[in-house]
Amino acid sequence: MKIHKDGWWTIIGIWALCIALICVSLVFIDNRFISYPLTAIFLFFIGFVLFFFRVPERGSVEGENMVTSVADGEVVIVEKVFEKEYLKRECLQVSVYMDFFNVHVNFWPISGEVTYYKYHPGKYFLAFLPKASELNEHTSIGIKNSCGEVFFKQIAGTFARRIECYAKVGEKEEKGRQCGIIKFGSRIDMYLPLDADIKVGIGDEVRACETVIAELRHESRINELIK
């Protein structure tokens, strides 16, 4: 099992704390009916934190116009909104909520050039709440290819106090490659063109790289229609 490079210091810190608590419970608690269950709980956390930072091997869906999910999780929002930070127009928003048991590594939804990046400090409301999109700590990223532009946010939740993002404006990225990670419960908001064909609905379980969120209309075809 591959472990995400930005998870090791968190893993080491939690392991050290759990090992210390195991030693305390075994040495200072004489009642084995208390010390043994506590030890089992701490051993579970030692294993769970390793599981949490796993990086899965995933295939990638072909097609420049196929937008895949940035993250594993459950679709909690599908609606038309006005995106006011970067695109400054009406878009289709698709949001994916990640719980503790989902893979928290994030992947590029399309191949193309990074057009926008910004980090926003903020609050730590529950990630599935609508207000989390603007008020919580988050990063904003835009990526564009010949089929269109996708804008998405990595949003921290109540327990996610650190976001790692590898986006750099002007760089070329490939769909299915890692674009970052959010730690311990979080959400991804994706903003797509109004004419995008959305392939998911609220309540759907999605997998990064493998689940198609939407199909974009090719820009050249749109230009033909305009003419």
Query: Do 46 and 108 share a domain, yes or no?
Result: no
Query: Do 24 and 112 share a domain, yes or no?
Result: no
Tens digits of residue pLDDT in 90-125:
999 999 998 878 888 999 999 999 999 999 886 666
Catalytic residue, chosen from 69, 133, 140, 186, is 186
Query: Do 47 and 124 share a domain, yes or no?
Result: no
Number of domains the chain contains: 2
Q: Residue 222: what pLDDT?
A: 42
Residues of the domain holding 9:
2-55
Query: Do 13 and 71 share a domain, yes or no?
Result: no
Provide the b/e sequence for 110-149 (b: ≥16 CB within 10 Å): bbbebbbbeebeeebbebbeeebbeebbbbbbbbbbebbb
- Per the annotation, the verdict on 146 as an active-site residue is no
Domain assignment present for residue 42? The answer is: yes
3-state secondary structure of 139: strand
**8 A C-beta contact, residue 205 and residue 87:** no
Mean pLDDT of 1-17: 82
What's the predicted TM-score (pTM) here?
0.81
Domain assignment present for residue 61? The answer is: no
Query: Do 207 and 147 share a domain, yes or no?
Result: yes
Domain assignment present for residue 60? The answer is: no
Query: Do 116 and 9 share a domain, yes or no?
Result: no
